[in-house]
Structure formats: C-alpha cells, structure tokens
A and B are shown apart, each in its own frame.
Chain A
Amino acid sequence: MKDNILNLAGYQISHLIKKAEISEKEVFSFFYHRIENIDKQLKSFVEVYDPPLYYEGDSSLKGLPIAIKDNICIYGKRITCASKILSSHIAVYDATVIKRLKKAGLAIVGTTNMDEFAFGSSTENSCYGPTRNPWDLERIPGGSSGGSASAVACRLVPFALGSDTGGSIRQPASFCGVVGFKPTYGRVSRFGLVAFGSSLDQIGPITTNFSDCAHLLNIISGFDEFDSTTSHKPVPDFTKVLNYPIEGIKIGLPKEYFGKGLDNEVEKSILELISVFKKLGVKFKEISLPHTDYAVATYYIIAPSEASSNLQRFDGIRYGLRLGDDLMSVYKITRKEGFGEEAKRRIFIGTYSLSSGYYEDYYLRASKVRTLIKKDFEDAFKEVDVILTPTSPTPAFKLGEKSKDPLSMYLSDIYTISVNLAGLCAVSFPCGFSLQGLPIGAQLIGRAFDEETLIKLGSAFEKETDYHQRIPPIGRIK
C-alpha cells in the first residue's frame, strides 16, 4: 500500500487512513523520506517539523501533511517571509487558515520558501537562496509561492498553502505543473497572513488535482471576525461540483491575452485545451478586456504603495533585527540591512507614488485605472460565464534570466495581475508540456464568488487528460 500512495490524491490517502489501511504515521514517514531525499536539490522548504504538528480535528483530509508558505503565522513557530529582517521571529498566534487546518485534523510539516515578503515571480528574492523547478533544476519554480508549488509538484507533500497578490499562487503552479487556486477576495481570511498588498492579497491552495483543491477550499473558506474584509456569503460545498456536467458553460477568450509575446507552445496547449472543452459541450466566444495593457503599470503602483505602508512596521523596534544606535539610525540601518533588493525597490516605488506632489499622478491615477480594469471584467461577464487565458506567456525561465531586469520580471505577471486588481477568483492548472518537458498552465477566471464554475471545468478537463498525474523525473524515486 505504502508504495502506491505516490499516485493517489490527498483525499484518497485520507480515506485509506480512515479505513485503517495505512496509518497517519506511515503516511508522514512516506512524505518525510521524500522531503529528506529530494529537497536537497529543490530547496523548497525553509523549515521541516519532525514530528509534524498533528491535530485532533476531523475532515475529508484528516491525517494528511500540508506545507505552509513562510508568510502565514503558525503559533510558536518561526515566520520569516524569507527576509533577514524577520529571520528570528516566532509567530505569537495562529492564522485563521491554520486554526481551520487544525480543526480539520491536518498535520503541518513545515514552511516553504518564497520571494521575500512575496515580492517576486521566481523565488530568487529569498534570503535563503532560490528554490528550483523540479522539472528542470536550472530553472526557477515561479513565485512568490515557489517553495509550495515545487514541493507539491514533486509530491514532497500532497498539498500546500500559498498566497497570491498578483499571481503568486497561479504562476508558480503553472511553472511546476500543479493546480493553484486564488479564491475571490474576501473568500478566505487574511488574518495571520503577513500583509503585502492588503486590497489584493488572498490565501489559496496548491494541489496536484482539483478534488484536493475543492476539499481544501471547503476547509479554509468563510467569514472570519478577525478579517473584516471576509465575506458573509455562504460557502458552498466545493466538492459537490467535481463530477458536474459542463455542457453549455460559456467561456470567453480575451483577444488581448493571445497576442504579441505569447510563446507558440503555450498557445498550442491552450488551443488543445479549448478543443477538449468543445468536445464536452462548452461554448466559446472572443471577448475584449480593453484595459489589459495598463494592468501591469496599475499594479506596480498600487501593490508597492500598499506594501510600503505595510512594511513600515519593520523598523527594528518590536521585531527581530535591530541595528544602529540612535533612533533614526536604528530605523535606517535596520531597514538597509534587513530588506533585500526587491523589497527596497518596491518600498521606493510605493513611497514615491504616495508622496506629496506625486500622489495624484501615481497612486490616485492608478486607483482610477483599477476601476476601468474592474469594469472590463464586469462587462465581459455579461456575455460569458468564465474567462480562459494562459497563466504565463512562457514556461518557466532560467535562474538569473530576469533577476537583473526588474521590469521584465514584472511583465511576466501580465496575465495574472488583473484578477487581483478586480478581486476575482482564478485558477491555474496544467494543460500541457513544452517540447523541453516543461509544464504549461492555463488560467480560468471566474466571477466574484463563483469558484464553483472553475472547479467544474478544471475537474472535467482532468478526466480527459493525464497532465496532472505526471511527476517530475527527480520525484519518481520510491
């Protein structure tokens, strides 16, 4: 039995635990061995808990290990956001999502690597060094939740949590060949997630398949009195739509997402995906999201502005690192030494955009363009139920390829960023492989609080293809 669980979905393993065909301990030692043997090459974990933090609760995922991105608070454990400025910080409470995982009886096995404070698209901006893409160790896993995506792709854990501010769950999921879900803003509590862009951030699951994704969304979603931006809307049972017919669903293809800059192989995979959906009775329509070209510029004002405010609290007074002697030098030298390059760039852009004299031209103008981007989607959803795009213009790029040119890195998020600006839900899932053997991801974007349609479509596609069952070569050991 133990050898077979590699190819099982998480909820299936949990079922075996309940039937006493395998013990929780055996499941943990199975995954722990994989972490021990494979993660030396991947470096997807920041910290591994041995033994894991087991909890008494119950759910359809009871007894399963899960990894947590290093920006979500786990009481009594180190939380660093892959930043020197927090490197010795111990969380003083559980994030709401962690409380819910405990109540569901999951076992937390450790924290995963990320771009510092989630600033990045490659997991290269980490004080621990980069995580590798399991499909090609010379390539990046995407970011900022690169550790979570890489670990899940290699089956070091059945699933993990990430956070998504501009694509940080979906883009690494796409580069690693797994399912990465960004729920609607307000669906999942942000309490205990270290804030980056508070009007954009959302926690979500990274899994190998849509069933586990639905089970995890059931556990982590819902109103939380500690996050006033969570919605009171009732949370449906997301597993109910896993075997649903998808005939008659109308998908929009935004013409702005299929133009210049899109890699041929990525386009080819998306076209194949479309033909699979067509066979299943899905209808397609070309649509337009006319302000797409302004999304990256808008995002790179709004997100750094919010980030520069949120990061003011790291001043050497209450947390971890403190350098300097008089008050001003404590602030300035702690922040100089504690923050990495990309964090500083974003703080500078944000501070500049919000500073007097520039506010109207930058932050205020971007907030207005955000309204236009949001309205593009509102108009589109009058015509179609869901929108299909590539997740990223290319498959995973090489380590160092974009790290010297921040703007080219920012532009790699071009297809994922608008979703956060508009507060919608979206998922990336594997829809093919390049000739070089790199995964290619497709993105489905849904109406606010309509996660169900995305799950319906994704799980229907999974039944027709085997992309989600492929395991990277270095993960094929017993």
Chain B
Amino acid sequence: MVDKKTVDYVANLARIEISEEEKEYLLPQLSKILEYIDKLKELDVSKVEPTRGAFSEENILREDRVKSSEVFKDILKNAPSQYNNLFKIPQVLE
C-alpha cells in the first residue's frame, strides 16, 4: 500500500508541495482508493488489447499550412510576468 515515502515521491513527480498535515489525511484516502482499484487484479486481461480512446477513426491528417495568429497579444496578457512580448520566468540554467 502507499506509505509516506510513496506520497513524497509522487508529489515530487507531480510537482506539488504537500505539508505534513496534508499527508496525514491524503495517505489513508489514497490507500483506500487504491485498495478499491486493486479489484481490477481479479480479472485475467492477459489476452485483452487495451482501449486508448473511445473510437479510432484512423489517423486524421491534414496539410500543414502557415496561418497568422491574432491571439498572441491576448495570450501574453494572461502571463503572470512578461517582458518584451515574452514570458518572463525564473532562471532555468545556472
């Protein structure tokens, strides 16, 4: 079952900080949900193909066309921080 270490590991993968207090209630909740989900192990699915989408109507292809986009300015208006028409973000490389 899930332990604190697993929760920390998954929280890091999901890039969400969690407090000790959150862990206290998340741990039993997640354990209970995963325990329920484990009922899928009752089924033999060794010969079953997975379904990824509802319907597969083949590949949908179209020509690549260059079009101008008008939404550029609107998109930047939503940015938490911007500079010179670019998204401004914290330093990535040292």
- A residues in contact (CB < 8 Å) with B: 88-90, 92-93, 185-186, 199-200, 225, 228-229, 231-232, 291, 293-294, 296-298, 300-301, 308, 315-322, 324-333, 335-336, 339, 344-345, 347-349, 351-352, 355, 361-362, 364-372, 374, 406-407, 410, 420-423, 448
Do B49 and A344 touch (CB < 8 A)?
no
Q: Which of A294, A327, A336 meets B90, CB within 8 Å? A: A327
Partner of A185, one of B38, B55, B71, B91: B55
Main secondary structure of the interface of A (DSSP, over half): helix
The answer to whether A348 and B7 touch across the interface, beta carbons within 8 angstroms, is: yes
Known contacts A347-B16, A352-B10, A372-B48, A92 near B75 by CB under 8 Å: yes
Chain A residue with the shortest CB-CB distance to B59: A228
How close is A368's CB to chain B, nearest CB, in angstroms? Answer: 4
Q: Across the interface, do B71 and A92 meet the contact criterion of CB distance under 8 Å?
A: yes
Chain B proximity of A163: nearest CB distance (Å) = 15
A320 and B53 within 8 A (CB): no
Measured between C-beta atoms, what is the minimum distance from B75 to chain A in Å? 5
Residues of A within 8 A of B54 (CB): 185-186, 199-200, 229, 420, 422-423
Cβ–Cβ contact A90 & B78, under 8 A: yes
Query: Is B4 an interface position by the 8 A CB rule?
Result: no
- Mark contacts of B3-45 with chain A using CB atoms, 8 A cut-off: 1 yes-contact digit, 0 otherwise: 0001101110111111000100010011011101111110101
- Distance (whole angstroms) from the CB of A114 to the closest CB of chain B: 20
Q: Which chain B residue lies CB-closest to A362? A: B37
A327 touches B51 (CB 8 A): no
> Do the beta carbons of B91 and A319 come within 8 Å of each other?
no
Nearest opposing residue in chain B for A93, CB measure: B71
For the complex, give the distance between the alpha carbons of A372 and B44 in Å.
11
B14 near A308: Cβ-Cβ < 8 Å:
yes
The answer to whether B43 and A355 touch across the interface, beta carbons within 8 angstroms, is: no
B57 on the A face (CB < 8 A): yes
* Nearest A residue (CB) for B73: A92
Between A and B, 27 residue pairs with Cβ closer than 8 Å are: A90-B78, A92-B71, A185-B54, A199-B52, A200-B54, A229-B55, A231-B55, A296-B36, A320-B78, A321-B80, A329-B17, A332-B15, A335-B16, A344-B18, A344-B22, A345-B30, A351-B13, A352-B2, A367-B50, A367-B52, A368-B51, A369-B45, A370-B51, A371-B48, A371-B50, A407-B32, A423-B54
| Known pairs A229-B55, A349-B33 / 5 extra A-B pairs, C-beta < 8 Å | A336-B16, A344-B16, A344-B22, A365-B41, A406-B32
Complex Cα gap A332–B17 (Å): 5
* Chain A residues near B79 (CB-CB < 8 A): 318-319
Is the CB–CB distance between B91 and A327 below 8 Å?
yes
State whether the Cβ of B66 lies closer than 8 Å to any Cβ in chain A: no
Chain B residues, Cβ within 8 Å of A327:
89-92
Nearest CB in chain A: distance from B50 CB, A? 3
CB proximity of B55 to chain A, nearest CB, Å: 6
Contacts of B7 in A (CB 8 A): 348
Q: Which residues of A contact B40 (CB under 8 A)?
A: 294, 297-298, 301, 365-366, 369
Q: With A and B bound together, what is the CA distance between A352 and B27 in angstroms?
A: 13
A-contact 0/1 string along B69-94, CB 8 Å cutoff: 00100110111110000010111100
A333 touches B17 (CB 8 A): yes
Question: How far is A20 from B16 in the complex, measured between Cα atoms in Å?
Answer: 57
User: Given that A315-B15, A320-B80 are known contacts, is A371 also in contact with B49, CB under 8 Å in the complex?
Assistant: yes
Query: Is A317 a contact of B15 with CB atoms below 8 Å?
Result: no
Residue contact B74 to A92, C-beta cutoff 8 Å? yes
Which B residues lie within 8 Å of A335 (CB)? 14-17
| Known contacts A315-B15, A317-B89, A345-B26; is-contact A355 B50 (Cβ 8 Å) | no
Nearest CB of chain B from residue A353's CB, rounded to whole Å? 8
